[in-house]
Chain A
Amino acid sequence: MSKDILVFVEIKDGGIHSVSLELLGKAKELSRGNVVAVIIGENAKQNAKTSIKYGASKAFYFDTKEYITLVYTKAVVYAIKKIRPEIVLFGATHVGRDLAPRVSVRVSVGLTADCTGLEMKEDGTLLMTRPTFGGSLMATIISPNARPQMATVRKGVMEKALFNENLFGDIEEIYLEIDERDKRVEIIETVKKEKIKSIDEEDTLIVGGRGIKNDAMYKKLFELAALLNGGVGVSRALVEEHIAPYERQIGQTGKTVRPSLYISFGVSGAIQHITGMEKSKKIIALNNDKNAPIFKFADLGIVSSLEKVIPLLIDKIKKGRK
């Protein structure tokens, strides 16, 4: 076994997925050997070269089209067998969560899902920390004997690696025999939804919770967010009420956000929500209920009627602009 860390670098829209840049950054920090990337998909060769500039000292690549579980599994296992890393990391994306369990069972090792913290002990044991029970408990998982140690890591929790033109390394093509059994799932079509800026990319977030009782109030959040050049996130309650779509959900089963400014209206602050927003720099919470748990996590808490505050605030900002 080497002391290398293998990072599965995911390709998205032809380039490197942001979570993979975060993993390259983290791997560099943890590594006692080399950081090696494995890149599969379209433009794999070009992306392999790019991953070198983000700190990988070697990159394996396999050029193919869309994501197919069994083809990708084979390619990642190939890289694992070649370099025998002590750690393998995947982003906890739809692709990563589909692929990593398959890879881990194929090489007969364990896997820790959706980590939010990774730390290396001196003896090379990886401490993999993840929220569990809806985020109410943090569990640190280890793999005492099986190698490599494998984890999927949540998007948005690690610092991205920085691009450096002066970094150099090797790239190596993966040669695989893809047979009929690897193509048992045939892709008919892939449809992208209209691209909205993902809430985890926003610097200012206006967040609605159960206190947002209808579509009209929900629309007001957008009006406010637009004035602040920010985005709108929601708690699970609004998704369950079919007021907001899932892609706006913050929390354990939604997205992790850490904007500079987080302002919530009518969010009670269930633990599963807190898990997804506690790293926000400044948290302002407004709720009708003075006992709302969100106030334990906010920097500033306001108890007032949110039905009235939101329109008043919108008016003030508009007037201030004149």
Chain B
Amino acid sequence: MKIAVCIKQVPNVSDIDIDEKGHICRAGVVSVFNEDDRHALEEALKIKDALGFTVVAISMGPMQAETILREAMAYGADEAILISDKRLAGADTYATARALSCAVKKIEADIVFTGRQASDGDTAQVGPSIAEFLDFPQVTYVEKIEIENENTFVVTRETEDGMQKVRLSSPCLFTVLSGHNKVRYMGAGYSKDITFWNIDDLGITEEQAGIKGSPTRVYKTYTNKTGTKCEVIETSAEEASDIIYSELIKHMVIKD
């Protein structure tokens, strides 16, 4: 049995700042292993520990994404595949999911893991889209996976106002939340070989890849998050509480 874990390298979003003109400052922003994906990998490795499955980390992105695949192998993934091809540039979630699903098919994985979402786009669409391309059932917002037997799992997932327990069998896809498992320490494995694939290896055409294979386009981007300086009062705690108190009265939150 084989588990595919789809991971993404993302810019460290909390490093991103906006200058006074409203432009994004990318200088000095480092690229990191997307946090949700790290927890997805951990969940896959726990299944590997228990059942001895093979774990394959897959990423689609520029050559520098090799770093997170090496990290994945240091965590315990057995193999790593980097899908990198200029013809994939500009892929939206649809084209990305198509490419990743072809890779999953090619390695004949029985279980697919992704993080809930990537912190740069925050769409949470790629996981369920891969599941649909593969005709796998999916469980999103996964908190915990219990193994019932070789191919049946009892999964705890987050819902809008609580949690749900479901049972399903492989083949299947999980999208995992951050913060519900403890990611292990890295060990050896960092220098293991990585497999590189382009779209020909995946059996998809240029029309199905990248911007050509993407139904959506970015029409424009802008920022309105520059703000304007408000009145800032530097004062004692006594006076500060007076000011807020009078605002509360002004807004009729409390009565005078």
Contact = CB atoms under 8 A, between A and B. Distances in A.
Contact of A286 (B92, B128, B139, B244): B244
B253 A228 contact: yes
Contact of B121 (A110, A132, A228): A132
Contacts of B159: 94, 190
A185 B168 contact: yes
Given A141-B219, A303-B234, 15 more contacts: A94-B158, A102-B128, A105-B133, A113-B124, A137-B222, A146-B216, A184-B172, A193-B162, A272-B14, A275-B225, A296-B227, A301-B232, A303-B235, A304-B236, A320-B256
A102 B234 contact: no
B161 A195 contact: yes
A101 B14 contact: no
B160 A298 contact: no
B125 A228 contact: no
Contacts of A278: 225
B140 A295 contact: no
A302 B253 contact: no
B215 A109 contact: yes
B33 interface: no
A112 B236 CA distance: 48
Given A98-B138, A229-B253, A290-B234, A313 B123 contact: no
Interface string A77-117: 00000000000000001110111111011101111111000
Interface in B196-233: 214-233
Nearest to A316: B245
B237 A144 contact: no
A142 B214 CA distance: 11
Given A138-B224, A263-B244, A312-B241, A105 B235 contact: no
Interface string A112-141: 111000000000000100011111111111
B94 interface: yes
Interface residues of A, number: 91
A107 to B, nearest CB: 10
A188 B154 contact: yes
Contacts of B188: none
Contact of A317 (B229, B243, B254): B254
A227 interface: yes
A301 B233 contact: yes
A217 interface: no
B18 A136 contact: yes
A69 interface: yes
A284 B247 contact: yes
Contacts, number: 258
Given A105-B97, A110-B216, A297-B227, A312 B14 contact: no
B9 interface: no
Contacts of A73: 132
Given A186-B168, A296-B229, A303-B235, A133 B16 contact: yes
Nearest to B165: A188
Contact of A111 (B16, B93, B230, B240): B93
Contact of B233 (A127, A141, A188, A303): A303
Interface in B154-171: 154, 158-169
A309 B237 contact: yes
A59 B71 CA distance: 50
A68 B238 CA distance: 56
B131 interface: yes
Contact of B163 (A12, A191, A260, A313): A191
B221 A140 contact: yes
A174 interface: no
Contact of B24 (A131, A136, A282): A136
A189 interface: yes
Nearest to A99: B128
Nearest to A183: B137
A154 to B, nearest CB: 11
The 5 A-B residue pairs with the shortest CB-CB distance, nearest first, are A296-B227, A110-B215, A308-B237, A110-B216, A134-B13
